[in-house]
Chains A and B, each alone.
With several copies, the nearest count.
Chain A
Amino acid sequence: MTTMTTVRGEPAADPAPTVGSHVRDYLGRVRGGDIGVLPAVLGLVVLCVVFSILRPSFLTAFNFANLLTQGAAVTLIAMGLVFVLLLGEIDLSAGYASGVCAAVLANLVTLQGYPWYVAAAAAIGTGVLIGFVLGFLVAKIGIPSFVVTLAGFLAFQGVVLMLVREGTNVSVRDTVLVAIANRNLTPVLGWLLAAVAVAGYAAVQLLRHRNRSARGLTTDPLAVVLARIGMLAVILGAAVHILNLERSINPLFVSLKGVPIVVPIIAVLLIGWTFVLQRTGYGRHVYAVGGNREAARRAGIDVDRIRISVFVICSAMAAIGGIVAASRANSVDAKTGGSNVLLYAVGAAVIGGTSLFGGKGRVIDAVLGGAVVAVIDNGMGLMGYSAGVKYVVTGLVLLLAAGVDALSRRRAAATGHR
């Protein structure tokens, strides 16, 4: 038999990867459907191109900066929701929870005159408390999270109403709080932060590379690691450069440039939560409980504790989202966190690639999906449709973005990946 010689010589384990094999592997994975963030990014690019063609003003520094602050609150809430979704649970109350926390903030800072940090701490504390109660009801009493958070959805709506005194609105005028969503970093500070981020990423990646090679484990070739670091540097550099351009309509009148303050806030939270999910035991356990709750229980993981904790994280992030929303609106009213906020936030996480069935998702999904949602909203705002048409077109555009994503993921299923 002629085959035997070939078979005999073949090593079972992979050989040490080279740049070439790495690229080949990546292409193989893409062809095989395992493409990570690619589909969401693709959907985003398609949207941006379409809008830029239809409305040239879409592609201006002014609009880019707007985009970032417009999507901030939904993105922050979506980041928290990722944790809940990772467990296959849902939090319908996240939107109004953010409203409650924002109302607490406004109440303390405006009506009671506390300093901003006390108010902000109280708002986040309220979020933590809300999350704990929700999580407790889900994990310990055993009510399905859909029902618990539907009850929360209703109750918190009422709480906001009561906190803002039945329908009036409470202004937020504290300069620090208002700055969050309305002011920018100085250009120099923007560059500095970008540099720190790139340097930090490089350090982590290179250390990891050295550690793994030292132990003789397979690792990506150094060139690939360096290429990744380079790519990050280019992207961040471009973004900071654009945001540091003058974008005031009337620059003589007022100067407007720099990275909006919410951006580093989101970046820090993104990095922090990604670290928690990917590099700590807690994060590992979240994935395990989401993937197979019974297996996690059998492995000795305290499943109830994990379940409660994700609701706490989710509501705390909702609180931060609420603070940003209050800052952007300069006020809090009974609708803060209402209307489409929740559906947009869940939609953002799902579009980014997080599964509603648990076990699959990353914090960056929320950011990418949040960007898709923000781009749609932003772009639609430039089109000037009447109310009915606008809803319809928004729905269709959302479908388009998700369709690009789905079609590029399709082969995944065909080739047995999930």
Chain B
Amino acid sequence: ACGEDSGAGGSERTPKIGVILPDSASSARWETADRKYLESAFIAAGVQYDIQNAQGDKAQFQTIADQMMANGVTILMIVNLDSGTGKAVLDKAKSQGVATIDYDRLTLGGSAEYYVSFDNVAVGKLQGEGLVKCLADKGVKNPVVAELNGSSTDNNATLFKEGYDSILNPKYEAKEFVKGPDQSVPEWDNTQAGTIFEQMLTQERGKIDGVLAANDGMGNAVISVLKKNKLNGKVPVTGQDADVQGLQNILAGDQCMTVYKAIKQEADAAADLAVGLAKGEKRETGQTVKDPEGHRDVPAVLLTPKAIYLENVKDVVTDGFVTRADLCAGEFAALCAKAGVN
């Protein structure tokens, strides 16, 4: 995947773009979507590139950054694991004259040229609004809402929570909703999510009416516990990522909504900026984001996420994010037809 360029110190260097993805376990998107879309964009633009994944390990993350610079990249695009290591990498790159882009996550106090992302707080808001809508559809009075948050070590999880709490907290305060258990799931681990939710259900003696699960994987874990107690479909569950499993759960009526982030748009936007830098052009984004730590306005491309309910599952397929063949395999063919996916 990467070119054989090891010229250290040469002034005329062939442009080469390095991308560091954060992990493959917290969400499937990095390896299944981002990598694919970035690769095709780079190939289309005819630039050299090197895409690697840090597997959630920040020492690895820095090592990969070092290796990419050793391998002669001139533009570095990172999805930081945390702002600290992210900043260290960006600063080192800058000292080596390598241009940088923050992809999906803003490195606070960093020095990136651009920032391209979805608005994570907005994702959380969509989840919160989704749950409110689904509970309203079911007509539950004073529902007890359980929150199953993402990994406490992941800053994005904090942002999601900020988003949905901004919707749910007023409801709690207005006594429309009852705040139930609220726990984080270590490492976004689906197995642990199942156990944690089962214990929430035990503790509440079965009185949980809605679940805010931070992504589809954990949503599925919740649904499997609900199924065991024959409560699936009766208790709305949220999600995020719009992966095949989540969409199938929606088709089956077990999950009420998910959040679809059009990763292709994000990847294309970032690739476009990177290719521009490679060609020596500095493109305008028309938008900025304030970095509270670095006290600067970072030129940014911000994309909007989209809530997916049963009605608009087809949009995700139309977008090419998941294939019909995958989604409508076996027993889901009929459900797909019913939901108008074709």
Contacts and interface: CB of A to CB of B under 8 A. Distances in A.
Interface of A: 55-58, 60, 62-63, 66, 70, 73-74, 110-111, 113, 161, 165-173, 178, 182, 246-254, 256, 325, 328-336, 338-341, 377-378, 380-382, 384-388, 390-391
Given A166-B31, A168-B158, 11 more contacts: A60-B202, A62-B205, A66-B63, A70-B59, A70-B63, A169-B84, A169-B244, A333-B25, A340-B192, A384-B50, A387-B186
Contacts of B67: 63, 66, 378, 381-382
Contacts of A171: 83-84, 87, 109, 220, 245, 248
Interface in B187-202: 187-192, 194-196, 198-202
B230 A254 contact: yes
B155 A329 contact: no
Nearest to A72: B59
Interface string B96-120: 1110000000000100000000000
A253 B97 contact: yes
Interface of B: 1-2, 4, 6, 8-9, 11, 21, 23-25, 27-32, 35, 50-53, 55-60, 62-64, 66-72, 81-85, 87-88, 91-92, 95-98, 109, 151-155, 157-158, 181-184, 186-192, 194-196, 198-203, 205-207, 216-217, 220-221, 223-224, 227-231, 243-245, 248, 329-331
Nearest to B88: A330
Contacts of A173: 331
A336 B85 CA distance: 11
A336 B220 CA distance: 14
Nearest to B92: A182
Given A70-B195, A253-B97, A329-B221, A167 B157 contact: yes
Nearest to A59: B6
Contacts of B153: 161, 167, 333-335
Contacts of A390: 52-53, 55, 183
Given A60-B6, A328-B224, A382-B67, A167 B31 contact: yes
Given A167-B30, A330-B84, A333-B82, A254 B96 contact: yes
B230 A256 contact: yes
User: Which of A57, A378, A387, A391: most chain B Cβ within 10 A?
Assistant: A387
B56 A167 contact: no
A332 B57 CA distance: 13
A62 B224 contact: no
B2 A384 contact: yes
Nearest to B243: A168
A329 B84 contact: yes
B64 A333 contact: no
Contacts of A170: 84, 245
A338 B59 CA distance: 10
A339 B223 contact: no
User: Which of B153, B220, B229: most chain A Cβ within 10 A?
Assistant: B153
9 contacts: A66-B70, A173-B331, A329-B85, A330-B84, A333-B25, A333-B84, A335-B25, A381-B198, A387-B152
A73 B55 contact: no
Given A249-B205, A330-B87, A182 B109 contact: no
Contacts of B155: 167-169
A58 B67 CA distance: 9
Nearest to A249: B206
Nearest to A381: B199
A124 to B, nearest CB: 20
Contacts of A111: 329
A381 B52 CA distance: 8
B52 A384 contact: yes
Contacts of B245: 168-171, 331
A55 B30 CA distance: 26
Contacts of A387: 21, 23-24, 30-31, 53, 55, 152, 183-184, 186
Nearest to B193: A329
Contacts of A385: 52
A274 to B, nearest CB: 26
Contacts of B21: 387
A132 B272 CA distance: 50
Nearest to B35: A386
B59 A169 contact: no
A9 B75 CA distance: 78
A114 to B, nearest CB: 12
B53 A331 contact: no
Q: Which 4 A-B pairs have the closest CB atoms?
A: A331-B84, A381-B199, A249-B206, A381-B67
User: Which of B2, B63, B64: most chain A Cβ within 10 A?
Assistant: B63
A58 B31 CA distance: 26
Given A70-B63, A381-B66, A331 B230 contact: no
Nearest to B206: A249
Given A60-B70, A167-B152, A329-B190, A384 B183 contact: yes
A331 B190 contact: yes
A325 B24 contact: no
A384 B62 contact: no
Contacts of A336: 58, 190-191
B199 A325 contact: no
A382 B199 contact: yes
Given A330-B227, A333-B82, A390-B53, A56 B32 contact: no
Contacts of B221: 329, 331
A238 B337 CA distance: 50
Contacts of B56: 335, 339
A254 B226 CA distance: 12
User: Which of B82, B158, B184: most chain A Cβ within 10 A?
Assistant: B82
A314 B59 CA distance: 21
Given A248-B96, A329-B221, A169 B64 contact: no
